[in-house]
Structure 1
């Protein structure tokens, strides 16, 4: 066997928001975890700039949301075409808006979180080899650009190394899909006459689109712009000319928005791709390494962080002796979510870039009408924000199983505050006294069943708290996830 230089419980390849969330959560649970990241510092070309409500809830449960929001802008509206609006102000969440903040700031907060919890972060290091066996995974790495190699041994590896994932390539895993949009330009722009209000604003013609998101009080007058021109298609390596940004924004918005200055900018193309399996033995793919899609709707970073929140606590349980079969639930739960995100962001992209005038006329007349219907408005907003996405439940389980418990009112405070201490939480009915169990507890305010809440905030069981044991009891559900192996164990 190859000599090993370093040993850790979990090796995370990729130090973006997905990888740092996995690392921070595992370290918070007491596991040894190391992050290998090829960039020597945080990638300045990060594309995301909107953090959605569900991700803000997850950041709050790690003590990060308040500080990020203090320096960010927020918006509760996404202005589309011909007055059609995605209204976030009715979301069933504490965060009835999206947070506008460059991904680099979120990246730094999550890296600080991972380091503060005890994760080791090794930057400027690239992975060049990966072998797994029945007991673990051996990874070979070297300094970015060449140098002396080192080996790492881990029980599990998480590939969170982006759309061009080295881990995925070393596994020989296909990334089926296709390129759907090219020569998209991102830029930070200072405007003298930007859109009124604080919403995200989209303008389009049959040949161009422009998108503007205000950064808010921290950077007054500055916006993140996204522009595209059907007739100006260049490779990613082509430089971005300031005149191109100004011209496309003016055409898309139907007026001169007064561009005074252009800061950071980048040109890229976007794909729609998803791996068929998120788990490959002891190696897991998460974030952009598992799925990429159109930037429309601001889903990429958010979906990756939510992947990480789903996976980390399951790895922790298995490292503690729980049945490794529970790791299969990561793919079962997150792959359908990734597929849905890919489809809905793709549908929005295709709606924005429609060319034929009859199709655009129909879109412009139908979209405002449809989005004015309350149930449709809330369904669209809930899906894009992530707060209404749910995991499937088995037949016979309570309808609440698989939904998030974040907004259940508790006598002890917000669920996200309580979940800063990781683990399962049993929420008792409002009139039930403390139960004799080692599982952390809280009491709900008002009517409703008892709930067993998973470490990621989703409901694992619902019913009367008096129903503890037996096939439908909360202790049975809890043991299904957490029991140490002593023979075959049921799979949740």
Structure 2
């Protein structure tokens, strides 16, 4: 017997749970199918960037996560060069350091609280779409008994099932790209001589690199860090066991000193690819997160990009399910594919810079990076691109240049925009001087506010980006905010 739902999300990681929670918050029926029975306790990501924290705040999760995490004001790079996050245009002028497991748990609880139906230990085995919907077949993981088969009928499917996506394979989407770095080792290590400022620290030589992220778990004999190491002279398959001596030796050589490793916990060897699908949509099926793009771990972009993919897609699915034109769903690819492409390139450039071998090239890199990142405008642009706060979407033809920009930092009499967006829907921000009666809220325009600074009125999308800018009293033709709201939601 089919289970009929609006959307099936395949994959219960951070991107998938974001989509599920947001859709359920909109009152849509959502099922999550995840093959692993529990949240992975040894996930790779450890840094949550400012833009992601803003989105988590809009769902009431940021403060709770920050209370049990550490933060860092920047990343110490090559020979004094630093990626400085303290000048970000954000409330969160830092990166939050916590295991991805903690973010996963918060997002799963969010999805459950909103009403998403979560099925763990269930693996997708088939997917067939037609003009009216998608039929999915799944079974308990490692169970080939036909009697255990489960089926869903959904209007749309979101593939959030990672780099080895079953959804992507079943719809026949290529994943072009290549492997770019092999035999990278992640580990949890206890140190007695970690970074002096407690921040994210990179060390490298022509042979290897090492990276530290403080977890803040201090004990009498040291503090715990997540480390990442790579050794040019030890390139082995992912299946080769990781020895503690390998981790200790690589860290000490990369940092140029004895970092005082007194214990090694969880560890894993992996390789990284640079790949991206050509289209994030195939009919009624959409890809988010690692199912759509994978890249170097440099810059801590993976989990953050996936969550931002999910936020962008979910409200658009909700709008179409509520009656908006299906073409709105094409804007998911148009907006997020270029961002994914930037992330692949940016993290790849950083990886290649870290693994440079010729000494002259490394010398020039060190000098150039320190100089460039000391220029305030360049510093802030680079930091904002990694943090996600300087990313924007293309402004539609005929729209204000503000359309597609992030509205999160506009000062409001009513408080933070992210607090107002804990109710789903568009937000109308009126000019400071506008004292007319507020527009009556509707199903799509749920919240209204007023600027504390000079600037135009803004219609803000549910993901925090500007849909329209102008005069809030204008109602004629395509110039007014009601017309912009109608284009996105079908509301009249």
Report if TM-score (shorter chain) is over 0.5.
yes
Deviations 1:244-276 (A, max 9, x none): 000000000000000011111111000000000
Aligned position for 1:205: 205
For 2:349, what is the secondary structure of its paired residue? helix
Structure 1 residues 472-491: aligned runs within 5 Å: 472-483=479-490
Residue range with higher mean Cα deviation, 87-96 or 228-237: 228-237
Out of 332, 344, 347, the position equivalent to 1:345 is 347
Taking the aligned partners of 2:276 and 2:186, their CA distance within structure 1 comes to 24
* TM-aligned CA deviation for residue 217 of structure 1: 5.7
Q: 1:406 to 1:289 in 2, by over 3 A?
A: same
Q: 1:469 to 1:217 in 2, by over 3 A?
A: farther
Taking the aligned partners of 1:345 and 1:46, their CA distance within structure 2 comes to 19
Aligned position for 1:323: 325
Structure 1 residues 344-423: aligned runs within 5 Å: 344-423=346-425
Taking the aligned partners of 2:100 and 2:218, their CA distance within structure 1 comes to 15
Aligned position for 1:115: 112
Deviations 1:77-123 (A, max 9, x none): 10011111000000000000000000001000000000010001000
For 1:216, what is the secondary structure of its paired residue? strand
Out of 455, 458, 469, the position equivalent to 2:465 is 458
Out of 284, 287, 291, the position equivalent to 2:286 is 284
Alpha carbons 1:72, 1:218 under 8 Å: kept: no
Alpha carbons 1:320, 1:484 under 8 Å: kept: no
Taking the aligned partners of 1:156 and 1:356, their CA distance within structure 2 comes to 50
Alpha carbons 1:130, 1:139 under 8 Å: kept: yes
Aligned position for 2:55: 58
Aligned position for 1:91: 88
Deviations 1:123-171 (A, max 9, x none): 0000000000000000000000013211110000000000000000001
Structure 2, unpaired ranges of 5+: none
Aligned position for 2:36: 39
Taking the aligned partners of 1:75 and 1:400, their CA distance within structure 2 comes to 31
Aligned position for 1:186: 186
Taking only aligned residues, the RMSD between alpha carbons, in angstroms, comes to 1.1
Aligned position for 2:171: 171
- Which TM-score applies when normalising by structure 2? 0.97
Aligned position for 1:444: 451
Out of 299, 303, 306, the position equivalent to 1:304 is 306
* TM-aligned CA deviation for residue 218 of structure 1: 7.1
Taking the aligned partners of 2:218 and 2:329, their CA distance within structure 1 comes to 41
Aligned position for 2:336: 334
Taking the aligned partners of 1:446 and 1:217, their CA distance within structure 2 comes to 42
Alpha carbons 1:73, 1:217 under 8 Å: kept: no
* TM-aligned CA deviation for residue 313 of structure 1: 0.3
Structure 1 residues 129-148: aligned runs within 5 Å: 129-146=126-143, 147=145, 148=148
* TM-aligned CA deviation for residue 484 of structure 1: 5.9
* TM-aligned CA deviation for residue 435 of structure 1: 2.8
Taking the aligned partners of 1:198 and 1:425, their CA distance within structure 2 comes to 39
1:195 lines up with 2:191 in the alignment: no
Deviations 1:221-250 (A, max 9, x none): 111100000110111111110000000000
For 1:307, what is the secondary structure of its paired residue? helix
Aligned position for 2:9: 12
- Which TM-score applies when normalising by structure 1? 0.97
For 2:216, what is the secondary structure of its paired residue? coil
Alpha carbons 1:156, 1:282 under 8 Å: kept: yes
Taking the aligned partners of 2:468 and 2:375, their CA distance within structure 1 comes to 33
Taking the aligned partners of 1:258 and 1:40, their CA distance within structure 2 comes to 37
Deviations 1:282-317 (A, max 9, x none): 000000000000000000000000000000000001
Residue range with higher mean Cα deviation, 406-415 or 467-476: 467-476
Taking the aligned partners of 1:45 and 1:483, their CA distance within structure 2 comes to 44
Taking the aligned partners of 1:395 and 1:106, their CA distance within structure 2 comes to 37
Out of 435, 438, 463, the position equivalent to 1:435 is 438
Alpha carbons 1:402, 1:460 under 8 Å: kept: yes
Aligned position for 1:48: 45
Aligned position for 1:244: 246
For 1:461, what is the secondary structure of its paired residue? strand
Taking the aligned partners of 2:478 and 2:399, their CA distance within structure 1 comes to 11
Alpha carbons 1:323, 1:484 under 8 Å: kept: no
For 2:404, what is the secondary structure of its paired residue? coil
Query: Which runs of structure 1 show a deviation greater than 3 angstroms over 4 or more consecutive aligned residues?
Result: 217-220
Taking the aligned partners of 2:382 and 2:176, their CA distance within structure 1 comes to 27
Structure 1, unpaired ranges of 5+: 486-492
